[in-house]
Structure 1
Amino acid sequence: MPTATPARRRILDAALKRFAADGALGATLDDVRRDAGASVGAVYHHFADKQALHAAVFEDVLATYQEAFASLLEEQDDPEAGVRAGVAFHLRWCAAHPDHTRVLLAGPPAGADVTELNRTFFRRVRGWWRPHAHHGALRDLDIALLHALWLGPALALTQNALAGRDRAPTDHDATVLADAAWAALRSPDA
C-alpha cells in the first residue's frame, strides 16, 4: 500500500466519509474532490478512477483495524485476557470509528487486494494463538471458526447498531460477549 502523502491522505479521508455516508454507488469523485479540497488532477494523480479509490479506502481501513487488533493482542500474555481484549477492542473500535466500520462491513470492493494484509494479520493472530493452544489453554481451531466464535456476536451487535436496528453496544455487552467468547474458545481441558 503506497505511503499516504498529505494530499492522498486528504482524498482518502474525504472518500471514506463519502463511501460510508452515500455508499459506493452514491459517492462521486466530484464530491470527494470537493470535500478533500483537491483538484481533479490531484485525484486522478493518486487514483485511476472511483473503483481504485474505493479499493484504496477499504485497504487503508482494513490495515488500520488489523494493525490495532494484532498489536493489542500481542501485548497480552494471558490467553483469557487476550480473548477478552479482542472482543472489547472490536466493540470500542467500531463505536469510535463508525465510518470505517461501515466501509469494512460493506466488504471488499472490486479491485481491492487484501490478500497480503490478511495473510500478515492472520499470521500474527495465529502466532499469538498457537502457543496458548499448544499448552492447552485455548482450543486449536482453524481461523474461520476461531473468528466466528471470537468476534461473530460482537460483529452482529455492531452491524445492528450501525444499521439503526439496535442500540449501541455497552460496556456490559462487551463483558457478556467476552464471557461467551472465553467460554467458547478456552480449551475444555483447561
Structure 2
Amino acid sequence: MTENPKPSVRGVALRKLVLDTALERFSRDGYFNTSIHDIRRQAGVSIGSIYHHFGNKEALAKALYDDLLQRMDAGLAEVMERESGCRARCDGIIAFLFRVAQEDPRTMRFVLEARHREFLPQEPPVCSSQPFLRMRECIEQGIATGELRPIEVPVAATAAFGGTIRLLQLHLDGALEAPLSRYLMSMQEAAWRAIAREPFNPTDTITRETEK
C-alpha cells in the first residue's frame, strides 16, 4: 500500500498529531483493537515516522499516558498554587476535574478507564500517579493545618475525591440525567462535608457531660 504522509507535519507537531490520534483510537476502540497502521492511516503520516518518534505501540501508549498525566498534574499544581486553604483547593481540584471531563472527555476516559497495566505492566497503578499524589498532598496539608478531621489520609482522600471520580465516570457513560456542570456545587459541598473538621461548639461538651 502506498503511504501518503503529510510532508508539512514534522518534529513536535508530528509527535502531537500521532499522540492525539492514538488517544482517539485507544479511547474509542481500545488499545488491543488498535494497530500502529490504524494510527498511521488516520494521522496521515508514514509508519517510519511513528517508529522514529516512539519505537512501537507500547512505547507510544507509554508516551501518551505520561503526556496526559503530566498535563493533568500541571492543572492540579496550578490549582494548589492559586488557592490557599484546603476548602478552596478541594473545590478547585473538583472544578478542574469537571472541566477536563467536559472539555476533553477522551483524556478523562483514558486516564480513568483504560486498563493501563494490561498493556503497560511496568507502570504503577493510576492511583499512585503524580496527579493522584497531588490530590493526596492537598488532603495531607489540610489535616496538618487542622482544617480536616485527623482521619487516615487514604480514607480522607477517597471521601474527598472518590465521589467526584465516580460522577465523572457516570458522565462519560452518558448516565447522568443533567449536564455535568449542574452537579459541581453539590459535589464540592458533599466532598467537603465528608472530611471537614466541625467547628467546636461548647454546648456539645455540656450536652455530653449532662448525658453521663
Q: For the superposition of Structure 1 and Structure 2, which TM-score range results when normalised by the shorter chain? A: 0.7 to 0.9
Task: Indicate the residue corresponding to 2:195 in structure 1.
Answer: 185
TM-score normalised to the size of structure 2? Answer: 0.75
TM-score normalised to the size of structure 1? Answer: 0.83
Aligned length: 186
Q: Is the 8 A contact 2:142 2:148 kept in 1?
A: yes
What is the aligned-residue identity percentage? 28
Higher RCO (C-alpha 8 Å, min separation 6): 1
Change (3 A) 1:86 1:123: closer
Q: Give the Cα–Cα distance (whole angstroms) in 1 for the partners of residues 36 and 44 of structure 2.
A: 12
Which residue, 145, 156, 162 being the options, matches 1:146?
156
- Taking the TM superposition and a 5 Å limit, the aligned residue runs for 1:157-168 are 157-167=167-177
Task: Indicate the residue corresponding to 2:114 in structure 1.
Answer: 106
Q: Give the Cα–Cα distance (whole angstroms) in 2 for the partners of residues 124 and 146 of structure 1.
A: 14
Q: Give the Cα–Cα distance (whole angstroms) in 1 for the partners of residues 109 and 28 of structure 2.
A: 9
Q: Is the 8 A contact 1:59 1:114 kept in 2?
A: no
SS at match of 1:165: coil
- Structure 1 gaps of 5+ residues are none
Which residue, 43, 48, 65 being the options, matches 1:58?
65
Cα-to-partner distance string for 1:164-185 (whole Å, 9 max, x where unaligned): 3334643331111100111012
Q: Give the Cα–Cα distance (whole angstroms) in 2 for the partners of residues 20 and 123 of structure 1.
A: 24
User: Which deviates the most, 122-131 or 7-16?
Assistant: 122-131
- Taking the TM superposition and a 5 Å limit, the aligned residue runs for 1:38-57 are 38-57=45-64
Rg: which structure is higher? 2
Change (3 A) 1:34 1:155: same
Q: Give the Cα–Cα distance (whole angstroms) in 1 for the partners of residues 165 and 131 of structure 2.
A: 18
Q: Give the Cα–Cα distance (whole angstroms) in 2 for the partners of residues 180 and 21 of structure 1.
A: 32
Task: Indicate the residue corresponding to 1:32 in structure 2.
Answer: 39
Tell me how large the CA RMSD over aligned residues is.
2.6
Q: Give the Cα–Cα distance (whole angstroms) in 1 for the partners of residues 167 and 137 of structure 2.
A: 27
